[in-house]
């Protein structure tokens, strides 16, 4: 039976060759690409190359349709990020229960540290992030220190933090990760989707990144000038990015300290920008999966 449409989801190195073959064998089948390749950061020429075999791109990020249009890519609609559907759930998280469960002290400043989910990230970031924690404790006093981690990195991280001046509480569950974000006064994060997760929870942040693959990161920076998704959505570096040589303990602490003072300009500016991210992320609506389904049906009907 001939399908009414083909929806390819992310993983362009795998899904796009399949889409090309389907277009060649059955050109009448509409092809919809759910999750745009990162043409805004890496290999922008892919946008134009997609157009012959992709009829519609469903974008997770609000700035992506403009990039496809500028680069000569397929029709592209912003349908919203799946994180949006977690917003109401996040707002209902029981922070009192979270505080009691982990023995946190309400009179202490709370800090979330996110050294990445890949071995190369953890290798380069765990030690300097630990030094940052030590400097923050000197300035702020004892901290509630929280470190969400993926299960595959938990053993490596648990071993690495033994050298830290303050031992963090390691968190593995998705619910407690978002509770930690919401509970925290500020966060230090490696780049990635986590900056968007922090933005959704309204957590002030500093982004720091240092890995071996410098040339690849440099190429991405040439294309975008920013690496944090939260900053891309705003079109400006609202949240400090300290990359490679700038990723020093001194620089990180300098950017973080004002975020623990709610009267500081840095804190207030970040809160305003976090509210703006909410507005832009919700521009398509509050149910991305339903919006994506409707757009698929529309593409099938109009092609």
Region of residue 7 (phi > 0: left; psi between -120 and 50: alpha; otherwise: beta): beta
Residues whose CB is less than 8 angstroms from the CB of residue 193 and which lie 6 or more positions away in sequence, other chains included: 229
Bridge partners (DSSP) of residue 187 are 112, 205
- Residues β-bridged to residue 33: 8, 57
| pLDDT score at 213 | 57
Intervals of the chain under pLDDT 70: 212-224
Q: Compute the distance between CA of residue 21 and CA of residue 5 in angstroms, rounded to an integer.
A: 14
In whole angstroms, give the CA distance from residue 186 to residue 183.
9
pLDDT at 112: 98
Q: Would you give the distance in Å from CA 276 to the centre of its chain?
A: 16
Residues 241/231, Cβ–Cβ less than 8 Å: yes
Report pLDDT for 302: 87
The C-alpha atoms of residue 140 and residue 120 are separated, in whole angstroms, by 30
Q: What is the pTM of this model?
A: 0.90
pLDDT of residue 117: 85
Confidence (pLDDT) at 80: 96
Tell whether the torsion through CA atoms of 181, 184, 185 and 187 is positive or negative. Answer: negative
């Amino acid at each position: 039976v001939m399908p009414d449409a083909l929806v390819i989801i992310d993983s362009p190195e795998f899904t796009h060759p399949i889409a090309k073959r389907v277009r060649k064998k059955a050109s009448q089948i509409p092809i919809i690409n759910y999750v745009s390749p990162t043409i805004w950061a890496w290999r922008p020429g892919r946008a134009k190359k997609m157009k012959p075999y992709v009829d519609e791109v469903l974008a997770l990020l609000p700035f992506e349709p403009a990039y496809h249009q500028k680069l000569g890519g397929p029709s592209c609609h912003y349908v919203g990020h799946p994180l949006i559907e977690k917003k109401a759930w996040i707002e209902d998280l029981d922070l009192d229960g979270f505080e009691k469960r982990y023995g946190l002290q309400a009179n202490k400043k709370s800090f979330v540290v996110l050294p990445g989910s890949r071995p190369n990230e953890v290798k380069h970031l765990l030690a300097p992030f630990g030094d940052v924690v030590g400097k923050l404790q000197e300035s702020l006093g004892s901290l509630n220190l929280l470190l969400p981690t993926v299960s595959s990195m938990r053993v490596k991280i648990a071993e690495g933090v033994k050298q830290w001046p303050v031992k963090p509480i390691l968190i593995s569950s998705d619910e407690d990760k978002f509770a930690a974000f919401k509970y925290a006064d500020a966060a230090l994060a490696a780049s990635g989707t986590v900056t968007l997760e922090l933005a959704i929870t309204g957590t002030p942040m500093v982004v720091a990144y240092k890995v071996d693959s410098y040339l690849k990161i440099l190429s991405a920076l040439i294309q975008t000038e920013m690496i944090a998704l939260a900053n891309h959505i705003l079109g400006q570096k609202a949240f400090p990015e300290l990359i490679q040589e700038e990723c020093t303990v001194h620089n990180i602490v300098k950017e973080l300290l004002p975020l623990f003072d709610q009267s500081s300009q840095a804190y207030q500016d970040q809160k305003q920008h976090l509210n703006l991210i909410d507005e832009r992320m919700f521009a398509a609506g509050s149910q991305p999966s339903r919006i994506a389904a409707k757009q698929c049906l529309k593409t099938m009907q109009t092609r």
